[in-house]
Amino acid sequence: MIKAETSSKPEAAFVLLGMQSLFWFIAAISSAPFVLAGEYAMAGLVVVTLLLSLATLLLGIGVLWRRRRARGFAIALEVVCLFGAALLLLIPIGANHGPVSLMVNVALPIAVIVLLRKDPRESFS
């Protein structure tokens, strides 16, 4: 019988971080036409969202390579995302409260945090 020596949690977290990075990339690209329409302040938002997307993808690669610092930064990023999602849900600013929004803004970060938490039985270096 084949016995796995390491956990596949980092691979699953990499897939989820890749999905999150892709969602932010799509959000950045979809807000870019507003810059062409004269909303020049959106250009900064597009650039920041693209950089966030790239950073998330690089964190996912670091988690896949089992880097301890990448795991810590990924958990910190997901906690910040959960805090932002809580603000979106609690403050009545017209944000979407549908099932897709809840899955992307709440369930995805919670799943990444659960996958990346420290298990005392595993050596995650």
Write the pLDDT tens digit of every residue in 108-118: 999 999 999 97
Please list, in sequence order, all residues whose beta carbon lies within 8 angstroms of the beta carbon of residue 73, skipping any fewer than 6 positions away. 59, 62
Residue 121 lies in a domain: no
Tens-place pLDDT, residues 64-84: 999 999 999 999 999 999 999
- Residue 121 has a CB neighbour count (10 Å cut-off) of 5
Entry pTM:
0.86
Which of 54, 83, 74, 103 has its CA nearest to residue 10?
74
Check residue 97 and give its pLDDT.
82
Answer whether 31's CB lies under 8 Å from 42's CB.
yes
How far apart are alpha carbons 17 and 28 in whole angstroms?
16
Domain residues for the domain of 14 are 9-116
* Domain count within the chain: 1
Residue 3 lies in a domain: no
